Amino acid sequence: MKQILHWSQRCLVVCILLIFCFFWGSTAYAIEILMGSEGMLVFEPCEVTVNVGDTVTFRNNELPPHNMMVADHPEYSHSELAFAPGESFDVTFDKAGDYRFQCDPHAGAGMIGVIHVE
């Protein structure tokens, strides 16, 4: 009888931990945008639509350095340059709108994009 009680306690603890982990860290990662792709100074994709509260991951891919600056929205911008391949940062959009962004070092080369937040 003690073994059954001990086993049921373990199952209860595991279930509680799984439920806690599932709901506690519930950041909605919507999409990943690559900075530099196929030898080009571009964001890939350069236009996306996400929901309010979603998180967009920007990943350094090719031809660094890159950053991501949102026009008139410093709260969503990431001014630090990413140099290392695979280096990434997340941006969570908490207000609906259309957000035009660019890579400051490469904006003149057309490294621009837009995120539509619904």
| Cα distance from N-terminal residue to C-terminal residue, the chain | 56
Report d(CA 115, CA 26) in Å as an integer. Answer: 21
Identify the bridge partners of residue 55 per DSSP, sorted by sequence position: 29, 92
Active site residues: 66, 103, 106, 111
Residue 84: how many other CB atoms lie within 10 Å? 9
Report d(CA 86, CA 58) in Å as an integer. Answer: 9
Whether 115 and 99 have beta carbons less than 8 Å apart is answered as yes
